[in-house]
Structure 1
């Protein structure tokens, strides 16, 4: 059974989430504050962390920054703070997804399973012992699919699992325009609930990492009213 660390100080929400996810086959370890969460995180490995932002003693954002220094475990933020600033801040610090309170337990479960599945695929694809590398080159950027490495002008660029999957999708189909729904279905492996801010934040972070000038992107182009595509390179 896969273990999930639930970091949530609201007991009514915690009991509801624990009951539902336990029936889905997960083992839930519950922390009511950030300091307890750090202790529990150090004691065992987890398939995913469900993290509230407003916590006693150590807030969720500080907890996230600390664990990101040592782990790539998928983190799904659950919080009543639904502003775009909080979303951008949370995802910018390394969260994989965001769901606002109140939320549907069905939607929460779908996002949990999707995040774990994507993290597993990301890890497995990087563990191949094959000496052959599947390489995609676009301008001065090189994507090594088999070894999960991205470099630009010889400099390695570190991406999160979601950022890698988005860029791989665009690199694999360089002429195709993808709607936000298509990107979400492909990368998150889940139904699209219309929360385009999640995709917008990931795109913004990805552009900051790969573009010379993120405000005038050349690799990831916005097709207004439709979605995104890879830049046109001769």
Structure 2
């Protein structure tokens, strides 16, 4: 069965173009030109991913992203015509997994979609016969399990997006070693890291919020200034 993808963009030419490329790759597409219509679809339809434009005439993409994250954890890609880092960081901070700046090559969108869906499916279709205990870390009350894709802190479950989970898992795998932003980005996103890329920093900030980490002295994800991050 093909994955179902929501597209929301008030620029009809862009929405229609993405729809064509995704349908050509076998995906089921639900396309809307307004935010309110999209919200109705989210509540009534099983979705595997959302592609949200930031600027919409009725309700912006950030608000839609927040509404999705209240109940769902499928990947979200934000589309933005803005180039300010603050807009990109905002989307990542509220739960988006990736962003693409307009204008873009539709083939890039398809590639990003496939990357996010591979990660999401990998963590959510797990054989019951696999040995789960070998794929689990318990660090100072932080429990993360690769095959159930679950994370808890002192017994209370923490809801992570697929990207957030991948980042935390990779840091736990490298426990005790400093991981640079470049290494972390290329390991999780599978793409070449570019200078001044704030994607990793935004996701680390969001993870710390969910883990209730104090900004100045985090217990789990520590910053080694000028080098990277580590879990001790």
TM-score bracket for this pair, using the shorter chain length: 0.7 to 0.9
Once the two structures are overlaid, the 10-residue window that deviates more, 111-120 or 179-188, is: 179-188
Report the Cα distance in structure 1 between the residues aligned to 2:118 and 2:142, rounded to whole angstroms: 27
User: For 2:182 and 2:110, how far apart are their aligned partners in 1?
Assistant: 19
- Residue 80 (structure 1) aligns with: 81
SS of alignment partner, residue 77 of structure 1: strand
TM-score normalised by length of structure 2: 0.85
> Partners of 1:158 and 1:66 in 2: how far apart?
14
SS in 1 for 2:107: helix
Structure 2, gaps ≥5 residues long = none
Aligned length, in residue pairs: 230
Quote how far apart the aligned CAs of 1:210 are: 2.5
Shift of 1:69: 2.4
Please list, as runs of the form range in 1=range in 2, the aligned pairs for 1:125-144 lying within 5 A after superposition.
125=126, 128=128, 133-134=133-134, 135-144=136-145
Deviations 1:81-128 (CA, angstroms, capped at 9, x unpaired):
332332233222221111111223232222111111111112124x73
- Mapped contact 1:181–1:192 kept (Cα < 8 A): yes
- Kindly indicate whether the alpha-carbon contact (under 8 Å) linking 1:163 and 1:202 is maintained by their aligned counterparts in 2: yes
Taking the TM superposition and a 5 Å limit, the aligned residue runs for 1:1-234 are 1-125=2-126, 128=128, 133-134=133-134, 135-193=136-194, 196-210=197-211, 212-231=213-232
Q: Which runs of 5+ in 1 are unaligned?
A: none
Cα offset, 1:6, TM superposition: 0.9
So what's the TM-score if we normalise by structure 1? 0.84
Report the 3-state secondary structure (helix = DSSP H, G, I; strand = E; otherwise coil) of the residue aligned with 2:203.
helix
